[in-house]
Structure 1
C-alpha cells in the first residue's frame, strides 16, 4: 500500500520513462561485436524475468527442504559455515565499491545490495562476534566516505548540456577513441543531431576534417 502513491505519481512521468527505456542499455559494453544491443527497457525486462526465475527457484527449494527434514537439519548444523561463506563473499564487494572510477561496477552491484545486506546481517547475527561486526560496519562506513571524498566523475551531463545549448542543424559530434566510449553520450544526449550523424572515430580530428 505504501508503494501505491509513488506508482500512481510515476504515471505523469511515463513519456519521460518511455524515452529512457528506448535508449541503449547500460550493458551494451558487455556485448562487443554482437548485433544485439539491448535497450534499457529490454534490460529491465530481462532483469525482471531473471528475478522471477530466481524467486521460483527459492520457492521450489524451500518446498523441497520442508519435505526433507534430515537435509534441513544437516544444513542447519552447518549454519556457521554458511555465515562465513556469505561474509567472505560480501567483503570483496565492499572493497570493489571503493574503486575510484568503478562507477559501472557499482551500478551493477547496487542491484544485489539489498539481499546482500540481509544475508550479511543474518551471518553476523549467526556468528555473534562483535569484532567481526565492527570490521564490517567500519568497511561500510569507509565505503560511504570514499564516495564523498574521492575524485569526482567526469561531468558528461554538463558537457552534453553545453553541446545542446550551442548545436545547430548540420553539426556533427565526434567522439575520439581510444579516450572514450560513446555510451555516456548515448545516455545523456537529447539534442537535434540525429543518431546516424554522430561519428565515433579512431585517430586525430584533423585527419577527419582534412
Structure 2
C-alpha cells in the first residue's frame, strides 16, 4: 500500500485560501490548476538541481579564478557534489551535447523559439540522450562534474532569452499553457466535486476519489 496521486488540496496561509486541483484532459495533458482553471506549474524550474550554494553569480566583470583576468560570467555556478543529478528547467529539445572547450561536457537545450538553456562542466550525460532528443521539465539530463576549465565540482548554468544571456535568478517564469476553454466546463464540474469531498469526512472522501485516479 502506498500513497497515490494528490487530486485536490487546500492550504490556508495568513487567512488566504490556496486551492489546487488535478485535471487530465482527454488528450492526456495533466496539470494542477487553481479554482479558475489557471495552471499552478511554471514553465521553468527555479533551479536545475539541488545545490549546496551558488559559488559564482551572473556578472559582466568577474575575476576568472583560473585565468586571473576580468571577463564576463554570463551564468550561475551552482556548487554541488560530483554526481548530483542535473535536470532540464523546461520541456525542450537537445541541440548540442558533447565536449565544448572550457565548459567541458556540455548540453544545450532549446525550449521554444525564445528560450535556450545550457549546462556545463558535467561529469557525464544521462543514458539514452542524444542531439535531437526531446526532454521534459525535471528530467535528468546529466550529472554534476568538474570537466573543462573548472576549480571544483559545480554546474555552470546559463539562460538565453531572444539570443541574449540573462541573469536567471531574476527571471520571472511564465506559467505553462492555460487550460483550453473547451475543457473548462469539465474541469469546473470535477473541481466542484473535489471541493465537496474536501468538506466531507476524510475517510468518505478517500473512497469516492478513486473514480479520478
Q: TM-score, normalised by structure 2?
A: 0.25
CA radius of gyration, larger in: 1
TM-score (norm 1): 0.25
The structure carrying a bigger strand percent of its residues is 2
Task: Kindly indicate whether structure 1 or structure 2 has the higher relative contact order, using CA contacts under 8 Å at least 6 residues apart.
Answer: 2
